[in-house]
Amino acid sequence: HQLGLELPTFAIVLRNIGASLIEISLFFAILAGVLLAFIVLLLVSPKLRVKIARAYRNLRGEHGLPAKIALARFSNALAMAVRSGLPISEGYKLAAALSVNSTWLENKYRLGNAFLMEVKSLAEALNAAAIFPATYSRMLSLGVKSGSADTVLSEIARRSEANLNETLDALLGKIEPTLVILTSLIVGAVLLSVMLPLLNIMSVLG
């Protein structure tokens, strides 16, 4: 070696990794460009955001976060309508209109309204249309019989909101570690981009 320098094994490994990364950097640059363009398109196009959100809601159906949000909205709106003295049918239509956020949910509310017109029982209609879980439907049925439907609906709304908050907390708990990992990868990439040229210079001098 000209200057008596010899790269340690770890530095040689890093240099080789850097050379490999440079070879595939074009692919990652194109991928990053596509993602950036997609994000910009989402920011400037409200219609596209609505279409993507609607497709996600229809895909996830009653098992996703949008369904829990809709249930919490519906429960709160129905509880307020009943407390204010509105007829059950009008309160149901108002609550359904305020909480519709997908095609499958709109169809479910329409089915529930048909059951309500037929059986005249809110609890049975909500259970038959699978708008409320069976437990909530039984609670509402007992509340109607005891004359405390508004109180029971308020309790159902509270439980729906609590369930929604638990789901959001769990989702945030998954997002935070992912962000930490991504940040670590970005920092590592920046450090490599700084160190690799120095290692190449040292290898040339050595």
Q: Tell me: the pLDDT tens digits for 131-190?
A: 888 888 888 888 888 888 888 988 998 998 898 888 888 888 887 887 788 777 777 666
Query: Does any domain span residue 16?
Result: no
Q: Tell me: the pLDDT tens digits for 40-86?
A: 887 787 777 667 666 655 555 556 677 788 888 888 888 888 888 88
Does the pTM surpass 0.85? The reply is no
Query: Does any domain span residue 22?
Result: no
**Boundaries of domain holding 109:** 63-160
Is the distance from CB of 155 to CB of 139 less than 8 angstroms?
yes
Query: Does any domain span residue 33?
Result: no
Is the distance from CB of 124 to CB of 115 less than 8 angstroms?
yes
| Residues ≥6 apart with Cβ < 8 Å to 132 | 71, 123, 126, 140, 156
Which CATH number characterizes residue 105's domain?
A: 1.20.81.30
**Alpha carbon distance 13, 62 (integer Å):** 50
Query: Does any domain span residue 124?
Result: yes
Give the per-residue pLDDT at 4: 45
Total structural domains within the chain:
1
Q: pLDDT class for 112, splitting at 50, 70, 90?
A: confident
Query: Does any domain span residue 15?
Result: no
Is the distance from CB of 68 to CB of 165 less than 8 angstroms?
no
